[in-house]
Structure 1
């Protein structure tokens, strides 16, 4: 009893409280009761879903959920996917799949080159290094003033690298960046990838499930053209930490990249049994033994229906619009640096006659002051050399009253900080 008491009364309260409605920092992972119940059932049942033969119906459940995801973004019936522990492993799996699918056996890995913007999540660079790509061949393309990848600079980089006898094999697009929620010009990136015969991966870990909404689908136009897409249910589907996903337009590429042959574990071939229509997950990923992750996704959707999640996402888009409107109308006190394409607004305090260094310090102190009030949690980010205040509205429990509290706390914090300058 002492152990449990310490856990709930001391250790857990000392950790960052993601489920709090006032949590608007980084990218929240809300967590809901039905997902926790699904995870509890999965742990207690302790069934192996790496192969279909030991758990055919449970493995089919995961396959069905991944097909739902594929339908959300407009992928064809050829699509297959896997559940991962999060977006980082999904991105690693995508990089390996792209490498194995595009590069031929006579092409040296030392010349393999990938392209991404300076706003792309660092997990992509880590994935490239883990996949054997040389750091000098990870090409970071400068983003434009709207934080979108520069198409002219990307085209120029590819042409220059081909002249150097490098082998471009992967372009990464963003469908909701971590810093500002920016969406790259996905259709243009697809055109380049097709003309250059380069794999096109989209990191939609944050933004992907906004495609459930009309506004989100419009913002993510072109996502259906990707070769692979990372989507994190732990982010914009409001589920707990520990469940990410990767979808591949043509599942055979995923299967060929991770298929293996073990005498003790013969695979369930696709179509072996008309009752089931999936490849073994272990033959499409790095993992063999793993938990039944899909249940924590399937159960909440079956209980609430997908319309409940769509409505929640629409509410977050509405709240983000309210945030943008408030700060845009407070021009004497705040600058809106990047308006929300999805649910992130990026602002800065307005302070006349301050250097960039002073303004950066002011924004940092404002965030700290807001945290001290213990009602709202915000995070900041350096964007184009300026330290900014990020407001990410993606918590299932965040509603209008919490946004009004945000306005009050930020205004109070700004006044307090500026009295010291």
Structure 2
């Protein structure tokens, strides 16, 4: 595309249209996609996001049609995945004096990914602003949309939101703006949401809460159409699609403990689940000897969490007799999670995991969470050394939130 495409005052689209069938997240994008990048031609010229790593050379050539790259003073990276940050190495090589603006985790990851340890970074926090000479950018951290380091950028004067993956669609469009589209873009918009954002819908609600008071005329995402016909319509669609399912889901937490540490873990997990609107029942396997009542509770629950302390490399109490019953029960479509506290190596947690895998439960482990949600900071099975303190409590709450998301999904 040779003509300059203006998005807002002194703001231009400088991205790349990939009209192939594009491999993406183990899918094939039949309609291709766009990698949207934006140049704000202000007193302190600023680039917001880049393009896929495959098109870095073309990206720098496109920028050269507007400005000498060495004049760029800021490069905003909202999200570090290579389809957004991939043009950064080529651009940084030319824009040698530019400061790279991103979150703390984003800076760490970009330095490692592209060997940019020698470059100047500006680390933003939620609500920070940056004067780029005639325009003011405001930043909001939006973790897990859809990776942990993600942020969004809002231009106050132009009333333009630059949300990277959020509000995107995978279409290799040459029209670029939704009001120029030859067909209804909402189906592609919704498909993108379901594939990329829906697993993280509680964080979508957090994002909507952060932007609710902003006056947004244009949403300029990193894939597909720039949304300028009715920005509020697309925000409403995200709000509606990310609201929790109103059907109450039920979780059973059953545990055995020696000193009360595993009980504390169970209670912390219950708190996180309840925060998601999940109905929670807690049963102590040591004080409840009615195996039939326990089996009935398992059969009427959507998720079952089995926990134990470790003593002499094994479980404690009567939990094992319950686990032995699982392979004879029909538990299809139910979620199983192992957890526990320990003082040394915590073998009991792994023994529980082995029992769960012998059943037809959908057993949650770290690999499953990474593949379905992209979250690599949560550990499954859930292991806590001794009694959960502040940091562990926060992690337990996050793990329970993730379990709740799986149930609500």
Q: TM-score, normalised by structure 1?
A: 0.30
Q: Give the structure, 1 or 2, with the largest relative contact order (CA under 8 Å, sep 6 or more).
A: 1
Bigger-Rg structure (1/2): 2
Richer in helix (by share): 1
Richer in strand (by share): 2
